[in-house]
A and B are shown apart, each in its own frame.
Chain A
Amino acid sequence: MTKNISDGVETLPLPQLDEEERAAKRKEIYAALEDRDVTVQPATDDNGDPLENSMVLNMGPQHPATHGVLRVVLKLDGETVERAVPELGYLHRSMEKLAENKTFHEFMPYTDRLDYMSPYSNNTALCLAVEKLCGITAPPRATYIRTIACEIARISSHLLWMGTMVMDAGAITVFLYTFQEREKIYDVFDMLTGARFTVSHCRVGGVASDISEECANYIKDWLKVFKKKLAEWRGLLDRNRIWIERVEGVAVISKEDAIGIGFSGPNLRGSGVDFDLRRDVPYMAYQNFEFNVPVYENGDCLARYFVRLEEMAESVRIIEQALKQLPKGDVRVDDAKQSFPWKHEVYHSMEGLIHDFMMTDTGLQPPAGTEIYHAIEAPKGELGFFIQSDGTGHPWRLKIRSPSFCSLQALPHLTEGGMIADVVVAIGSIDPVMGEADK
């Protein structure tokens, strides 16, 4: 810990979770929802005045604005949301349990499918955790490649967020603009990793392949274009009255509540908490770069919008510096007990083949009884892996702290009292990815 990150968290009151009351209300709402002939829920108070009736609306899991399979059950008073009950788990694939029967490398492709908007960050988070557990240090060039790729993944994720959030507000064009840039990012990943979407490029002890000269130049050229595009989009949206009015003061969450609920990343910084793992707990190569951490005070959708926009610009700065500083050397630990051997070794030497076989079959074997938690600043927030080892090649327990899951807890808080149109913008502004929330 290089910086005191307490921010007074310890002194804050715990969020009041009135579980019983909420559970009762939830039951009532579900009952109204299950009754297929009821469009309107009769008022329970005010001696049955028909004008006080409310409506229970089921939003999701198949709804265009719930970013996948999020389900929110809304109790409406006209257009106003009286109560929102988010329901998760429609994309649950029991990742954490699956991990217990896989070696760490075998689990890597699963992490691609966590936050599938930035697979590289997830790979890196897992690798860093395992490296910490086994005491492996990746060579500097590999670290730089990871940093570059993570930041590109961050831009990719934020671009998707931007497109979908603005589209949720009704402007479809921005979505297509950002997706055109994401297409270029996919090209970058294609060059860098050989895969466009689910990259699985990180390896414990380094990365799978080196970055080519061509790829580095492509990134440089793309960044130049991207900066212009970013300014263009900001010109389109930053002063658009309708857009600002749609997001300003909507879905406000205070600093205390944001910390209490477990917000992290851009959502937390949108509420005025100056905390960024890249700066405060530097990992990979982040201590070598100069970058700002944008923080906004308001805690509304607009603040989160600006935080993410400026983060993209900062990511561009980081990538530029990283490409400039990119050290020469190996991209994987040259130790067969810690890392996969290179393919030419496997094909041409007996030792290489044996090591490859051992690595694939038994995998890395961290010391028994050790446990580790390592978190990185993923695009969505703090993505942490908690691993307990029993000395075999499979983790005894592997738990994922996914930022989307924590952010989604705030949904009732953010949407209740707002309007239906605010619900979709609020969901967009906290940028959940259900693959990550449901795991």
Chain B
Amino acid sequence: MPEINLSTAFFIGLGSLTIVASLGTILSRSPVTSALFLVLNFFALGGIYLLLEAQFIAVVQVIVYAGAIMVLFLFVIMLLNLEDEQRLTERYDVKKGFAILFAGLLLVEVLYVVGLKTPAIAPRLGTVAAEIGTAKYIGQQLLTEFLFPFEIISVLLLGAIVGAVVLAKKNFGPERATAKTTL
């Protein structure tokens, strides 16, 4: 039993918050509530990162996931009718199979790591961890050692953007005829 200090207390709080939020995400009926739980989850995860002295990751987690991506999710959910959502979920049953498969794999993985083969917990690298978490370190690493993956990812993102534009502009050609023809 580790001694109760401030960061342990915070970890317990944030960890249970993460679990609750995750459960809420998959269990709540309304998609908007689901999305909100997911935001809470990201927020709590950000807090955990902060406890691990990974300040940059924590902030980026909040900026990117909670601040941008989930807003877009909400945007889409709000635009849809409830009936549409049900129709969408019922349409893809294969997805559920894949979800169960991957969840099972993950569970096995976690069990393997946690339960079956308990490795000795690596000694905490106090100062080193703190240094690794800074923006400066990450920036340096990204633009020197991991430059290639970094650039590859940017190309991937470009592809995704182009794909999104193509999907959004499904009706290519002249602008859709508006009702102006009849007066």
Contacts and interface: CB of A to CB of B under 8 A. Distances in A.
Do A and B originate from a single complex?
yes
Contact of B183 (A15, A48, A53): A15
B167 to A, nearest CB: 9
Contact of A16 (B79, B88, B182): B182
B178 interface: yes
Interface stretch (A17-25, A88-96, A209-217, A315-323): A17-25
A275 B80 CA distance: 50
B90 to A, nearest CB: 13
B107 to A, nearest CB: 33
B179 A417 contact: yes
Interface string B92-133: 000000000000000000000000000000000000000000
B5 interface: no
A17 B178 CA distance: 16
A42 interface: yes
B180 A413 contact: yes
Interface residues of B, number: 12
B89 interface: no
A416 interface: yes
A53 B180 contact: no
B178 A50 contact: no
B168 to A, nearest CB: 9
Contacts of B178: 82, 416-417
A346 interface: no
A406 interface: no
Contacts of A22: 182
B77 to A, nearest CB: 11
Contacts of A53: 79-81, 84
A17 to B, nearest CB: 6
A299 to B, nearest CB: 14
Contacts of B182: 16-18, 21-22
Interface string A400-417: 000000000000110011
A82 B176 CA distance: 10
B88 A416 contact: no
13 contacts: A21-B182, A39-B81, A40-B79, A40-B80, A50-B84, A53-B79, A53-B80, A53-B81, A53-B84, A82-B178, A261-B183, A416-B179, A417-B178
8 closest Cβ pairs, A-B complex: A417-B178, A50-B84, A18-B182, A416-B179, A50-B80, A15-B183, A83-B179, A40-B81
Interface of B: 79-81, 83-84, 87-88, 178-180, 182-183
